[in-house]
Chain A
């Protein structure tokens, strides 16, 4: 900014209205201007401006002030990533679009080696690491990286520790998030907190917060659920919809608890409808054919529309053609009732239980089995595993149940007991945690994938980068040799071309990187 104040008024108002007062200018400038024609007011002003501009540019000495010394004094004691890994980091950070799953794998491997990032990687890594991976990145930052991260708020890790203020003063969503997290860490403490706050919560918040009990639900939660159920249903005349919904949630939760009193009552009502045929075969051996389901044809006691509606929120009447009201209510109950009741009833024999559902003389057979498979999510991993084996070729909720098993069990089931559909491949790819698939399973998954190119929605399937990114993380590295040969399974040129450019090229690049990341362990 050159001597603006001296010229300001004349510059803004114009020479006609406000000629330049030369006496205010520095003497050296006045000397130069003395040779100019003062009557040429515009020329005189412009000359003054030009001279002042250069006078100002040339004569300003930099200011001397005391500013904070930001310099990092500490030296690094950890080992830096070796050059090969630095090059690999650049490749991973350079992937466009980015693959956070491979980045996570690289972070893990480098952390195992106790390496820190070199100076030239710091800015790129900090700027391109997704927020959720920042805590892992911070482990590799070293002295300089940690110092650098302080200068940019977006590079700092958000304080993930739970703050009671979030619960006490936060908005509804923040309070729910707090309670969910606490429930994950310490279910009893979360329950106690909810129990304390319950009387003062609004009806809407009660309903909202109650759903957090699904996390880590156990028999310890039953007394509280029973207590609040009693309070809410006492003298219930014309409840508000939100109160009814809360009651339904409470009952659903009570049903889902293994060995709960309420669950037992409901299970008893259900098993009462399962009768054992008396006959020769039943005396020789057990068969599901010996069992039959006999639901009441008209409303009685438990099987009552008003009861079902008030207690669980089910419709009073079945809306499905050919499905009786009781059949509809049973299907809905099966979804919530802890499976242990029926498993015990069938003496722990899951194949017999499944056969029973299949042999039920009802239009609702498939729906019973599907609803029961949803409730199987509350069962133990061994029971889930056994259930998935007996239902391998049946329409049940597979994806969610598979996720509850360790990966080797999942893989064993998928390899030997299941038809691997594209939908299933996609579900286990995108919904599960990062796993390393075996070469055998990778091959099977890719075969299911390539067949999808015959489908009409292939474009939407393969343009899902998150899906391809996760595949690139999970597939076995040896599959990269298979990628391009899979095109031979396609009959059309455009399909082969599409496969190569939109799938194989991308996965090949990812698998190449994954292979290099895996080799870090050997360095």
Chain B
């Protein structure tokens, strides 16, 4: 039976209040009934309404449905049912035949999933219509290109003014100075540049001199991206795609899924880490995946507006049997889940990582050389031992080489790392940065312990 443990259910909660309410509902007395079979878990719970709420969970793809009016996703009833089952270690009444309200939903989901695997049946297209659509698209692309070019010219001028005057003037500028330019970039449909400009506002200008190299680093990154965009037509097609995506020229999800030329990989993907951040009203969820057979890493991004639901079958720490489709790039990394078959709580095979920090550095250099815009590079590195020097934590390999754990890394997770490894050498999935690392989880035999 494919039930999640409590830690995994915790990860699914959209916010703290839902988590608390969900835990409160993990009480048998509150449920009028609850059952499951191999593919679905369901139950009825008395809410404030006259009729009980009907809660259903697709166990293969971790999807939820509930008749309650909550706009949160999953709602507290879905979480409560999962907590209840997790606390009973999956020992709950089994029923092969589902009630009609359950089978109706789960069958529909299965049909949709099957339809996704089948390539769409080609229909005879109206060539005239297709030509018009292509022309319209080309016009839109050209219009956008002009807009972006104009925006970039403005940004370049702004950046040159900044370095001409010197960075010493930056602390006095205030965040409005950067936000104004970021807004101009949004108007110019160059959202990638907008994000880069906003990085200036995240610097603490009043904490020593550390802001100075940070500011120059951002300026350097912006310049690199401007130059790449200006020389776009001289770059190989896939590098062009990468540059365009960095500028904010994203391929639509639907378009990517329908693109027959896009790279797809069927694999057992370990969800090695998840991080959610909020930028203004948008929640960005990053999921890092590792293909057990392909040995490829992938990044699946999900977005939501404020507290709106992010529906994803990916469960951090679990392994998803899935087909990923990669965004076009010369170093494909960002991907979409095209088809999700099932999620398991164990590793299907043993995993082998990089031998030492030296190998990690070679791999990192290769990745940077290939894609100078890459930020966090996920890696699996063997035999890493946690250690401490003065107030900083480090990971040391068997050769004695050390990498510092990122300063923002939560101490609570350091304790977890210590508790699980007892300071002994262990294979770790981590996000590699130039001078520090961000541990994601520990590989122990055939299990993956998320940190």
- Our pick among B165, B223, B385 for the contact of A49 (Cβ within 8 Å) is B223
Q: Which residues of B contact A90 (CB under 8 A)?
A: 6
Q: Which residues of B contact A91 (CB under 8 A)?
A: 87
Q: Which residues of B contact A4 (CB under 8 A)?
A: 212-213, 216
Question: B163 and A50: CB pair below 8 A?
Answer: no
- Our pick among A57, A61, A67 for the contact of B394 (Cβ within 8 Å) is A67
- Our pick among A16, A45, A87 for the contact of B89 (Cβ within 8 Å) is A87
Q: Which of A264-298 contact B (CB under 8 A)?
A: none
- Shortest distance from the beta carbon of B210 to any chain A beta carbon, whole Å: 9
- Our pick among A61, A148, A505 for the contact of B27 (Cβ within 8 Å) is A505
Question: B219 and A49: CB pair below 8 A?
Answer: yes
- Shortest distance from the beta carbon of A12 to any chain B beta carbon, whole Å: 5
Question: B29 and A508: CB pair below 8 A?
Answer: yes
Q: Which residues of A contact B361 (CB under 8 A)?
A: 60-62
Q: Which residue of B lies closest to A118 (CB)?
A: B419
Cβ-based interface call for B164 (8 A): yes
Q: Which residues of B contact A119 (CB under 8 A)?
A: 419-420, 422
Which of A68-76, A252-260, A419-427 is the interface stretch? A68-76
- Our pick among B358, B387, B419 for the contact of A68 (Cβ within 8 Å) is B387
Cβ-based interface call for A347 (8 A): no
Q: Which residues of A contact B401 (CB under 8 A)?
A: 61-64
- Shortest distance from the beta carbon of A55 to any chain B beta carbon, whole Å: 10
- 0/1 string, A34-69, CB within 8 A of B gives 1: 000000011101110110111011111111111111
- 0/1 string, A415-443, CB within 8 A of B gives 1: 00000000000000000000000000000
Q: Which of B394-443 contact A (CB under 8 A)?
A: 394, 396-397, 399-403, 412, 415-416, 418-420, 422-424, 434-435
Q: Which residue of B lies closest to A151 (CB)?
A: B418
Question: A46 and B159: CB pair below 8 A?
Answer: yes
- Shortest distance from the beta carbon of A136 to any chain B beta carbon, whole Å: 19
Which of A120-128, A186-194, A349-357 is the interface stretch? A120-128
Question: A152 and B164: CB pair below 8 A?
Answer: no
Q: Which residues of A contact B168 (CB under 8 A)?
A: 12-14
Cβ-based interface call for A138 (8 A): no
Q: Which of B155-210 contact A (CB under 8 A)?
A: 159-160, 163-168
Question: B387 and A63: CB pair below 8 A?
Answer: no
Q: Which residue of B lies closest to A54 (CB)?
A: B372
Cβ-based interface call for B20 (8 A): yes
Question: A46 and B223: CB pair below 8 A?
Answer: yes
- 0/1 string, A486-513, CB within 8 A of B gives 1: 0000000000000000000100110010
Q: Which residues of B contact A345 (CB under 8 A)?
A: none
Question: B400 and A64: CB pair below 8 A?
Answer: yes
Cβ-based interface call for B220 (8 A): yes
State A264–B220 Cα separation when bound (angstroms): 93
If A49-B219, A148-B418 touch, does A58 touch B365 (CB 8 Å cutoff)? yes
- Shortest distance from the beta carbon of A477 to any chain B beta carbon, whole Å: 15
Question: B387 and A70: CB pair below 8 A?
Answer: yes
Q: Which of B337-388 contact A (CB under 8 A)?
A: 357-358, 360-361, 364-365, 368-369, 372, 385-388
Question: B220 and A65: CB pair below 8 A?
Answer: no
Question: A11 and B163: CB pair below 8 A?
Answer: yes
State A94–B19 Cα separation when bound (angstroms): 11
Question: A59 and B388: CB pair below 8 A?
Answer: no
Question: B216 and A11: CB pair below 8 A?
Answer: yes
- Shortest distance from the beta carbon of A29 to any chain B beta carbon, whole Å: 13
State A151–B397 Cα separation when bound (angstroms): 21
Q: Which residue of A lies closest to B169 (CB)?
A: A14
Cβ-based interface call for A15 (8 A): yes
Question: B423 and A69: CB pair below 8 A?
Answer: yes
Cβ-based interface call for A316 (8 A): no
Question: B364 and A58: CB pair below 8 A?
Answer: yes
State A505–B27 Cα separation when bound (angstroms): 9
Q: Which of A79-115 contact B (CB under 8 A)?
A: 83, 87, 90-91, 94, 96
Question: A71 and B29: CB pair below 8 A?
Answer: no
- Our pick among B216, B227, B388 for the contact of A47 (Cβ within 8 Å) is B227
Chain B at the A interface: SS class: helix
If A12-B167, A148-B415 touch, does A60 touch B435 (CB 8 Å cutoff)? yes
- Our pick among B213, B224, B364 for the contact of A50 (Cβ within 8 Å) is B224
Cβ-based interface call for A302 (8 A): no
Q: How many residues of A contact B (CB 8 A)?
A: 63
Q: Give the residue among A50, A60, A96, A151 with the most B Cβ atoms within 10 A.
A: A50
Q: Which residues of A contact B29 (CB under 8 A)?
A: 484, 508
If A11-B166, A505-B27 touch, does A50 touch B223 (CB 8 Å cutoff)? yes
Question: B415 and A152: CB pair below 8 A?
Answer: yes
Q: Which residue of A lies closest to B159 (CB)?
A: A46
Cβ-based interface call for B23 (8 A): yes
If A12-B168, A60-B434 touch, does A123 touch B217 (CB 8 Å cutoff)? no
If A15-B163, A58-B369 touch, does A66 touch B400 (CB 8 Å cutoff)? yes
If A62-B357, A62-B358 touch, does A53 touch B220 (CB 8 Å cutoff)? yes
State A67–B369 Cα separation when bound (angstroms): 31
Cβ-based interface call for B389 (8 A): yes
- Shortest distance from the beta carbon of A487 to any chain B beta carbon, whole Å: 13
Q: Give the residue among A11, A54, A62, A123 with the most B Cβ atoms within 10 A.
A: A62
Cβ-based interface call for B267 (8 A): no
Question: B27 and A67: CB pair below 8 A?
Answer: no
State A52–B213 Cα separation when bound (angstroms): 12
State A311–B20 Cα separation when bound (angstroms): 60
Cβ-based interface call for B149 (8 A): no
Cβ-based interface call for B221 (8 A): yes
Question: B434 and A57: CB pair below 8 A?
Answer: yes
Q: Which residue of A lies closest to B88 (CB)?
A: A87
Cβ-based interface call for B24 (8 A): yes
State A144–B403 Cα separation when bound (angstroms): 25
State A152–B414 Cα separation when bound (angstroms): 11
Question: B389 and A67: CB pair below 8 A?
Answer: yes
Q: Which residue of A lies closest to B411 (CB)?
A: A152
Q: Which residue of B lies closest to A497 (CB)?
A: B48
For this complex, 6 residue pairs linking A to B, each with C-beta atoms less than 8 Å apart, are: A4-B212, A11-B166, A14-B168, A61-B357, A61-B358, A62-B397
Question: Which residues of B line the A interface, CB within 8 A?
Answer: 6, 20, 23-24, 27, 29, 87, 89, 159-160, 163-168, 212-213, 216-217, 219-221, 223-224, 227, 357-358, 360-361, 364-365, 368-369, 372, 385-389, 394, 396-397, 399-403, 412, 415-416, 418-420, 422-424, 434-435
Question: Which residues of A line the B interface, CB within 8 A?
Answer: 1-2, 4, 7-8, 11-18, 41-43, 45-47, 49-50, 52-54, 56-72, 83, 87, 90-91, 94, 96, 119-120, 122-123, 126-127, 144, 147-148, 151-152, 484, 505, 508-509, 512
The 3 A-B pairs with the shortest beta carbon distances in the complex, nearest first, are A14-B166, A71-B423, A46-B223
